[in-house]
């Protein structure tokens, strides 16, 4: 049966070759998930290599975050932006996990993130999760945990208010929208540990800041916090 299954798989790959989720071209021999050309062209931020980077500066004076980074820039009209939308709105959750594995491998090689103990994804309210069928940030976090050798705690943080989408809200309205929207479940799992908060896209940072503030408050300061998002909105930063 194993030989037969392999033959079927080989025939299927020949007739329906896997496509790169970014450019939608067939993957070549030896290419996994994203083609070599797209890997070369990804607009990396490289912030995980830069202490005091612009993303970290967003938290200064608000909540004590040790390190913050995103894998790539999120720009209007880019293929990589469409990749994020594919797992956020079109059910391609496996893409989120694969991208998490890629990002986690990068962070594991950096000094700032190498000692992360626990990874906590930004939660969806149960109504939104029921509507979408899954939380894409959980899949990103699970992929990162696999590469970083950390524990992923999907239930450590809970969204207690079903807040409207942040997408079309003004910068100042985003802060008010998520204020008091989260609560920590079983803080003993987070106390004394380096906790990495994970989300898909960082725009103003209001959502991850609200999560960080609640974790820090509930753990009474006995926690080291860092933040990682897969993408970082180019429009929200002056970096070029």
Q: In which band, very low, low, confident or very high, does the pLDDT at 115 lie, cut at 50, 70 and 90?
A: very high
Instruction: Please tell me the least confidently modeled range out of 7-16, 84-93, 170-179.
Output: 7-16
Q: Over 80: is that where the pLDDT of 207 sits?
A: yes
Higher pLDDT, 205 or 165: 205
What distance lies between CA 207 and its chain's CA centroid? 13
* Residue pLDDT, tens place only, 130-181: 888 899 999 999 999 999 999 999 999 999 886 655 555 455 555 556 667 8
What per-residue confidence (pLDDT) applies to 174? 53
Q: Mean pLDDT in the chain? A: 86
Q: Provide the pLDDT for residue 31.
A: 83
**pTM here?**
0.86
pLDDT at 13 over 70: no
- H/E element holding 224? strand 224-233
CATH dotted code for 43-236: 3.40.50
Nearest to 148 by CA among 97, 198, 111, 107: 107
The predicted model gives 221-228 an average pLDDT of 98
pLDDT of residue 193: 97
> What's the pLDDT at 3?
58
Phi, psi of 67 (to 5 degrees): -140, 150
- Residue 238 binned pLDDT confidence (cut-offs 50, 70, 90): low
Parse the chain into domains and list their residue ranges. 1-41, 43-236
Q: Give residue 9's pLDDT band: very low, low, confident or very high (50, 70, 90).
A: very low
- What's the rounded Cα separation, in Å, for the pair 122 and 226? 13
- The pLDDT of 186-193, averaged and rounded, is 95
Q: How many whole angstroms separate alpha carbon 209 and alpha carbon 213?
A: 6
pLDDT band at 2 (very low <50, low <70, confident <90, very high): low
């Amino acid at each position: 049966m194993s030989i037969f299954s392999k033959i079927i798989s080989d025939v299927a790959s020949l007739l329906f070759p896997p496509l790169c989720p970014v450019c939608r071209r067939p993957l070549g021999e030896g290419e996994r998930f994203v083609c070599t050309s797209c890997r070369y062209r990804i607009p990396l931020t490289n912030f995980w290599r830069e202490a005091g980077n612009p993303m970290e500066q967003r938290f200064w004076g608000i909540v004590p975050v040790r390190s913050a980074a995103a894998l790539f820039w999120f720009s209007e009209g880019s293929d990589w932006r469409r990749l994020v939308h594919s797992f956020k709105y079109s059910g391609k959750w496996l893409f989120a996990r694969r991208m998490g594995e890629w990002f986690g491998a990068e962070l594991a090689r950096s000094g700032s993130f190498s000692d992360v103990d626990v990874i906590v994804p930004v939660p969806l309210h149960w109504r939104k999760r029921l509507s979408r069928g899954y939380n894409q940030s959980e899949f990103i976090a699970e992929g990162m945990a696999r590469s970083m050798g950390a524990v992923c705690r999907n239930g450590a943080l809970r969204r207690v208010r079903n807040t409207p989408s942040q997408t079309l809200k003004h910068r100042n309205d985003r802060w008010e929208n998520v204020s008091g929207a989260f609560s920590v479940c079983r803080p003993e799992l987070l106390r004394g540990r380096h906790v990495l908060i994970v989300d898909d896209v960082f725009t103003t940072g209001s959502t991850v800041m609200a999560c960080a503030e609640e974790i820090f408050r509930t753990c009474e300061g006995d926690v080291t916090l860092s933040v990682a998002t897969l993408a970082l909105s180019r429009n929200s930063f002056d970096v070029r």
